[in-house]
Amino acid sequence: MRVGIGFDSHRLIEGRKLILGLVEIPFERGLAGHSDGDVLSHAIADALLGAAGLGDIGQHFPDSDPAWSGASGAVFFSRILELLREKGYRPASVDTVVILERPKLAPHRDAIRQALAAALGLDCDAVNIKAKTAEGLGEIGHGQAAAAHAIAVLEPL
């Protein structure tokens, strides 16, 4: 068994869709980023890569490469799963925390779990999503940004 941790954060901006865990969430702002800005998927991607000793998302999908402009986390997961298979691993579970003042994620939690589970080849009960606020502290607490933490467990094929 291998374990990895991931983190990502992005500012909330006008003119972008809010994508979290591969799901579009209705909101007036979205997350800035070279790709889709999906902090949850990006944190999971880093956790998966880290667990396998494969570096981080920036090494595999650099923001300097126009090929990744607007790319979905699902595209990242597809390539990461290939890399994991090459090393003899597959995801066993992921546990995450999303830190965001608004919108509330509770109404979207099941859809996010299902989307992530499908993309990672996991049962829904192997994907956990926790939503927290920053209690008014810092940029996240003032509704200007969002962040996510993830832990991934890999098992041998």
Residue range 33-46: mean pLDDT, rounded: 95
Residue 63, CA atoms < 13 Å, CB-side half-sphere:
9
Predicted confidence (pLDDT) at residue 68 exceeds the cutoff of 90: no
- pTM exceeds 0.95, yes or no: yes
pLDDT tens track for 97-136: 999 999 999 999 999 999 999 999 999 999 999 999 999 9
Which pLDDT band, with edges at 50, 70 and 90, does 15 fall under?
Answer: very high
Rg of the chain over all Cα atoms, to the nearest angstrom: 15
Long-range (24+ apart) CB contacts under 8 A made by 24-28 are: 25/103, 25/105, 25/108, 26/103, 27/102, 27/103
Residue range 20-34: mean pLDDT, rounded: 96
The full set of domain ranges for the chain reads: 2-156
Domain 2-156 has CATH 3.60.15.10: no
